[in-house]
Amino acid sequence: MEKYDVIVIGSGPAGNSAAYGFKEQGRKVAIIESDLWGGTCPNRGCDPKKMLMSGVEAQKRIETMVGKGFEQTPKIIWEDLMSFKRSYTDSVPQNTKDGIDAAEIDRYTGQASFIDAHQIIVNDKILASDQFLIATGQRPSVLPIDGQDLLQSSTDFLALEHLPEKIAFIGAGYIAFELAVIASAAGSEVHIIHHNDRPLKEFDQELVTALVEHMKSEGVHFHFNVNTKAIELNHPQYRITGEDFELITDRVFGATGRIPNMEALNLEKAGVTYDKKGIKVDDHLRTTQKNIFACGDVVAKSQPKLTPVASFEAGYVVKAMADSAEAIKYPLIPTIVFGDQRLARLGISERELTAHPEKYHSQTMDLSSWYTYQRINDQGAKIKFVYDEEDKIAAITCLSQLADEVINYLLIALTKKMTHEEIEKFIFAYPSPASDLSYFI
């Protein structure tokens, strides 16, 4: 039986980063992966999605300039765009393994299962450790309806060799929106089906509505207040039905959330408590078993389950597991829906704002006439500030082609509690989102 100081379960951005951190502390480390080395994000999540989105951004950038120096919008060749994506993703598993091996971290491929709080079994091999870090992430959930086996996931979409003529997404979260933008721009007829009339519920409704209208103008079809009941194979197509609703499509993708990967771990044998939202941890990311920690998307938490958050937790937990860290304190966390029009958000949650409307007031600014946006013909650019009773910024939502850049600059300004006078002491490159900061703060 092999004995370690720390065993990491999961090789995604959180687990992989933590394993390197433990090794740098001089500890004997092993890492276990049951699926693709590198985890979801670089293999079949945010990274490949953004590779495809880069083609959309290039296309839409020219589309906004048709009649202003360009004659027509370029066509996306799906197969070539997928080849571009694979130029990155194909090498991720091997590169991850090579890096782990070079760091002299022991590596095991297989499903880990706890025997007790200090032992696990993987591929009939028993491993013992003083401490464990669980970083197994999440996977797409499957809508429990008739014909659920016909549903495909975001993983399947990101592996499409050829783009179907007609696609339906069930769900209206950020994954559905981003994949819908990609498919529509590449020439597919796209439908989004949602059980209520509030898509992207974690974002400001006013700017979500503006984004929906923009996507409608680009040809995306929305079907709100539709409870999908069943999917039937109507070879070679699929029939989606709900109450007073029917749609025939070439592919159906479920985008109704994600669930934590933990069932096969036998957490009960290790004394680790969990629920459907994930593994329960304290403010040091310690589970109910004091020598077992967890971080990343497998954790039950109120913070967004995003790759940067998982990486932040990994950096923290390396110190916490060495008993050299205070309770974790999360900084401001931006969330973004990517597309040709990006929706970015920062600050107090929409749930909090909705629960206590009397505490807050807001201002929405049309940015389309500002030179930063006028020069790229971003006619839908908007930003909304929500203020508390002391007129301090409580939340920000931005909708524009440059929203991700804007929200990151504002993140720094708010974190540092910069005043208007302090920002004006800087000379930023012009024109750029940074050069507009003094108009916001």
Beta strands in 93-171 (DSSP E): 106-109, 113-116, 119-122, 125-134, 138-140, 166-170
Distance between CA atoms of residues 328 and 330, nearest Å: 6
Residue 228: strand pairing partners: 242
**Dihedral class, residue 153 (left if φ above 0, else alpha if ψ from -120 to 50, else beta):** beta
Q: Is the dihedral of CA 325, 331, 334, 335 positive or negative?
A: positive
Q: Quote the distance between the C-alpha of residue 24 and its chain's center.
A: 29
Nearest to 272 by CA among 281, 264, 260: 281
Residues of each annotated binding site = 50, 171-178, 257, 297
Annotated binding-site positions for FAD: 50, 297
Question: Pseudo-torsion of CA 422, 424, 428, 433, nearest 10°?
Answer: 90
Q: Report the alpha-carbon distance of residue 106 to residue 32 in Å, rounded.
A: 9
- Asked if 254 contacts 143 with a C-beta cutoff of 8 angstroms, the reply is yes
Strands 292-294 and 125-134 come out as: parallel
Q: How far apart are CA 70 and CA 402, in angstroms?
A: 21
Contact between 427 and 417 under an 8 Å Cβ cutoff? The reply is no
Q: Name the binding residues for NAD(+).
A: 171-178, 257
Q: How far apart are CA 145 and CA 252, in angstroms?
A: 13
Exposure string of 35-67, with b = 16+ CB inside 10 Å and e = fewer, is bbbbbbbbbbbbbbbebbbebbbebbbebbeee
Q: Name the 3-class secondary structure at 387.
A: strand
| Angle, in degrees to the nearest 10, between helices 205-217 and 174-185 | 20
Q: Are strands 119-122 and 113-116 parallel, antiparallel or unpaired?
A: antiparallel
Nearest Cα to 439, choosing from 424, 418, 425, 427? 424
